[in-house]
Amino acid sequence: MNQAQIGTEIIIVDDNQFQLKLLSHQLSMVGYKCVTAFDDGQTALDHMADRFLDSTVVILDVNMPNMNGLEFLQQLSKNQFSGSLLFVSDENEEVLHLAEALASSGDLQVLGQLRKPVQQEQLQKYLNDLCSSKENLLNPAKKHSYTAEQLKQAIENGELSNVYQPKVLLDTGALVGVEALVRWQHPQDGEVFPDKFIDLAEENDLIDDIARQVLRNALKDSQIWKKSGMDISVAVNISMYNLNTRQFIRYLENELLSSGMNPQNLILELTETKLVKDYSLVLDMLTRLRLRRVNLSIDDFGTGQSSLMQLRDIPFNELKIDKGFVHSACNDEGLHGVLDGSLQLAKNLGIKTVAEGVEDEADWSFLGNSGCDLAQGYFIGKPMKAEELAGWRGQWMTRYEKISVAAQAEN
């Protein structure tokens, strides 16, 4: 199963029960397991309300009796639907043209049209195309690549800044911390995501400069939150390259001291992406930090990037389960197995667990019964600017109450 198949939710809206069953089966045959089918538009819209839909594909029959396909499209554009659409129709060309026109005037992304009866190969082709088109749509700057000199200039010009993604307790919804994620505000390309420049920084000796800026901003923002009554932890991502010498850790210790921040509120997230030059130096620095009560988190657990060996040697006290095993785990026994195994392992070692990539209510409620401690993901909150956090918290607590009441009513 590839990443697109794991991460994509498909919603089928078609008044014909037989078509719904047939399409669900065809999707399952091409590897898409997270499929929800509706025989009327309104129920589908209710299902989609309040959800994060960037990775959703709606397969829509444009000719339906009750709420017809065109009305459904108007609603989607009113709700600023951010996923993609595939139209299904019989011979009625006119309705299809209308649907295309409506979608394009309403800023909706259309992958293509399917004729009934739907051919499996064609269905597969459109869904395969989705992965690359989605990447470009979400992150246009990804199309470009940058030089080390451009990145160096950007760091010097202060074009890098932090955004923060909330981490909440699964059993009370309370905000307990955030993860700092770096962004490059490129003067021409707009927001550039870290997967476009972290490798470049690692290969060109710029990763320490980035880590220092991210850390300094994170400490500064965390002190501001504290003053406003939010005493929460902040996690920063550390590359193994930052641990090749003692320089970055010395810098970190000094900054921590002068910021006056409680070291227990700082978390370092580590992934073993590249070979470590001097393993004993890394162990020495991390153990020292742990003795000073700085927290160490093993990131992307389960991907193979983060290994069990690290878990044995390094005094981690938090384990982050990679998003690939979290989103849609409720619909997939393989993912469910990895998730449960990781949680059990962490429990045996007595360390806290965080599930990342919680994208929808199904992920959230599934995790609620799993024994996992914390959750992070688009369903709870997308990465945001430091000053947006307080406002987000208010909205989230209201939403959390609603979700809890609805869940209790169901039980």
Binding site for ligand C2E (CB under 6 A): 7, 165, 181-182, 193-195, 198, 210-211, 214, 237, 239, 269, 299-300, 323, 356-359, 377-378, 383
Nearest residue to 375 (alpha-carbon basis) of 70, 196, 168, 209: 168
Task: State the residue number with the nearest CB to Ca ion.
Answer: 269
**Is the CB of 173 or the CB of 357 nearer to ligand C2E?**
357
Q: What is the DSSP string of 251-275?
A: HHHHHHHHHT--GGGEEEEE---S-
Least separation in angstroms between residue 124's CB and ligand C2E is 22
Contacts of 224 (CB under 8 A, 6+ apart): 386
**Is the CB of 193 or the CB of 400 nearer to ligand C2E?**
193
Paired tokens of 232: 């929460």
The burial class, CB within 10 Å (0-12 / 13-18 / 19+), for 51 is middle
**Is the CB of 158 or the CB of 304 nearer to Ca ion?**
304
| 300 lines the binding site for Ca ion (CB under 5 A) | yes
Q: What is the DSSP string of 230-255?
A: ---EEEEEE-GGGGSSSHHHHHHHHH
Least separation in angstroms between residue 39's CB and ligand C2E is 29
Span of 1-9, 22-30, 97-105, 237-245 interacting with Ca ion by CB under 5 A: 237-245
Integer Cα distance of 152 and 130 in angstroms: 34
**Is the CB of 60 or the CB of 386 nearer to Ca ion?**
386
Query: Which of residues 14, 61, 269, 318 is near Ca ion by CB under 5 A?
Result: 269
- Phi and psi for 34 in degrees, rounded to 5? -95, 80
Q: Which of ligand C2E, Ca ion, none is residue 181 near (CB under 5 to 8 Å by kind)?
A: ligand C2E
DSSP-derived pairing of the beta strands 318-321 and 352-356: parallel
| 299 lines the binding site for Ca ion (CB under 5 A) | yes
Least separation in angstroms between residue 323's CB and ligand C2E is 5
Least separation in angstroms between residue 324's CB and ligand C2E is 9
| 202 lines the binding site for Ca ion (CB under 5 A) | no
Q: What Rg, from alpha-carbon coordinates, does the chain have?
A: 23
Per the document, the length of the chain is 411
# binding residues, Ca ion (CB under 5 A): 4
| 208 lines the binding site for Ca ion (CB under 5 A) | no
Q: Which of ligand C2E, Ca ion, none is residue 182 near (CB under 5 to 8 Å by kind)?
A: ligand C2E
**Is the CB of 299 or the CB of 360 nearer to Ca ion?**
299
Integer Cα distance of 10 and 88 in angstroms: 14
Q: Which of ligand C2E, Ca ion, none is residue 377 near (CB under 5 to 8 Å by kind)?
A: ligand C2E
Paired tokens of 362: 């199904």
| 14 lines the binding site for Ca ion (CB under 5 A) | no
The answer to whether the bond into 117 is cis (omega within 30° of 0) is yes
Integer Cα distance of 176 and 265 in angstroms: 10
**Is the CB of 95 or the CB of 163 nearer to Ca ion?**
163
Residues that bind Ca ion (CB under 5 A): 237, 269, 299-300
